[in-house]
Chain A
Amino acid sequence: MDALLQQLKKGSLEIVVLQCLSEGDRYGYELLTIIQERSGGYYALKEGSLYPVLYRLEEKKYIDHYQKVYSEERRVPRKYYRLTFEGAEALSHMKRAWAIHKNATDQILGDSG
């Protein structure tokens, strides 16, 4: 069960991240906490899971980032990620695909249940 959930989470992480970024620019840790809160703790991600997804999405040009530099001495600049036009298109395509997949799977599961 755990392994299956892991696989399902991994497979749906890109769409989850893109959806969060479609609502506003976010930095890495903010994404971690938002995703965890909104999923009721289901997506309890760590840095090692989130950042590779961000690297991939950036490589595909679905997102890009800008930096926010703080004047305080002991602050590290933050990388804010934002959705690109290509990312917005990809998200809507993914959502359609997700809906088709979910409906079809639900129908089968519903039929058997």
Chain B
Amino acid sequence: MEQYTQNRIPAEWRRYADQVVRNLNVGREIRLKIREDLYESLDARRQMGDEGKPEVLLGNPRDVALEFAENLNIGMESVRNVNEYRSKTEIFGIPLVHIIRSHYVMGQGNRRMVAKGIIAVGPVALGVFALGGIAFGLLSFAGIGIGLLGVFGGIGIGGLASLGGLSISYFFSVGGLCIAHDFALGGLAIAKHVAIGGQAIAFIVGFEDASPILSGWTRYAFALPEQKSLLIQAVNQELGGMAEWIKNIIVFIAGSGV
């Protein structure tokens, strides 16, 4: 059914078909067929004068999925039992909130469900704000997370900032083991410019340990907290190429956080 574009299909039909096929543990081809047939059936009913929401015309999506499963001989056990919330409000076709509280799929395939939304919450979450065991987002909060802007997590890889047991980011990382281009603060802190930590590797380091790890590119090393003011001074003086606001943040954290 390539002749018509998906955007001609009313959004509530698409949402309904999504709910039906999402509940079925079948291959892509069958899912596509079912989706098309549901659209056709809804359209035919509308032509016959039947109006109303798809749930009223065809029934509860889960019941429809159960019936498909039974008649496709894939067994009732292949129907997902998913505890999820999906907001009706959508932005560019993406639900504002999508929460998957639990998922399990018996039978063949065992595909995992991913929470996808502006705000996505689930065992695996993908969204602008993603919260989950494994999360990918602009801002992620996760056991293992990737955040284009920032991430808070056990293991976090963030674009700008990262906070976590193991945290890696471009600008600012805080954590047990933290790696950043500009500024790292943590147990073992590694950065190109400034690192402050129990042990630290950077151009400018502030260390608390008696034997800091000093790399070849370390030019300044200050014992903290005694030499905090010297560290701040070095940041201000030596990182001339760095944006002022970044230096201000580093100075602020170096001055108050150690």
Residues on A facing B (Cβ under 8 Å):
10, 27-30, 32, 46-49, 51-53, 55, 67, 69, 73-79
Contact = CB atoms under 8 A, between A and B. Distances in A.
A36 to B, nearest CB: 13
Contacts of B44: 27-30, 78
A79 B64 contact: no
A29 B64 contact: no
B255 interface: no
Contacts of B3: 67, 69, 77
Contacts of A30: 44
Contacts of B40: 27-29, 76-79
A47 B1 contact: no
B68 A76 contact: no
A33 to B, nearest CB: 8
B58 interface: yes
B9 A76 contact: yes
Interface string B72-88: 11000000000000000
Given A47-B68, A48-B71, A78-B43, 19 more contacts: A28-B40, A46-B59, A47-B37, A47-B64, A48-B65, A48-B70, A51-B68, A55-B33, A67-B1, A74-B8, A75-B43, A75-B47, A76-B4, A76-B8, A76-B9, A76-B39, A76-B40, A77-B40, A79-B1
Contacts of B63: 48
Interface residues of B, number: 32
Contacts of B230: none
Contacts of B58: 46-47
Interface string B228-258: 0000000000000000000000000000000
B20 to A, nearest CB: 9
The CB with the most chain A CB atoms within 10 A, among B45, B64, B68, is that of: B68
Nearest to B59: A46
A76 B34 contact: no
24 contacts: A28-B40, A29-B40, A30-B44, A46-B58, A46-B67, A47-B38, A47-B41, A47-B58, A47-B67, A48-B63, A48-B65, A48-B67, A48-B68, A52-B72, A52-B73, A53-B71, A55-B33, A55-B72, A75-B43, A75-B47, A76-B40, A76-B43, A78-B44, A79-B1
